[in-house]
Amino acid sequence: MCVGMIVNEAAARRLVLFNGLEAGRAMPTDIDCFCELYGEGYWFLEIKSKTPLAPAGQKIALERMAFDLARSGKLVVLVFAVSHESGDIHAANAEIFDLLINGKRVSFPRGMTVAQLWREFVCECEARRAAHTKR
């Protein structure tokens, strides 16, 4: 099996509906990508199509989650990105439009892609893991 490939394409193309799970005005949301790496970091990615704008409720919920997880002392990265691709979206190519690291909004180079930040995240998690194994 190739890493990063969809295992069950038919299931992946089905919608997940959250009807009946409302709580007042709050609705459940999905997360496009989540990865826990080496016990050192959490990566969350939300990709929007064509417009760099996340619904306010979704953005608030994900930011609160990232802030709360940052208290663990682990690296927590929350990425909001936009894809201008038609057809399938390649997450690595998406352009970052908002970024929180350890619960704090940070600046990043204009045009930075998800792949570029991902490599930095992996390197930082590997460095943290190496530091913990030296103890």
pLDDT in tens, 9-59: 887 788 888 889 888 888 888 899 999 999 999 999 999 998 888 888 899
pLDDT bin (cut points 50, 70, 90) of residue 135 is low
pLDDT band at 119; cut points 50, 70, 90: very high
Question: Is the pLDDT at 4 greater than 70, yes or no?
Answer: no
Tell the burial category of 94 from Cβ atoms under 10 Å away from its Cβ (0-12, 13-18, 19+): buried
**What pTM does this model have?**
0.88
Q: Which tens digits make up the pLDDT trace of 62-107?
A: 999 999 999 999 999 999 999 999 888 999 999 999 999 999 999 9
| 8 Å CB contact between 101 and 75 | yes
What residues have CB less than 8 Å from 57, skipping those under 6 apart?
A: 25, 26, 27, 29
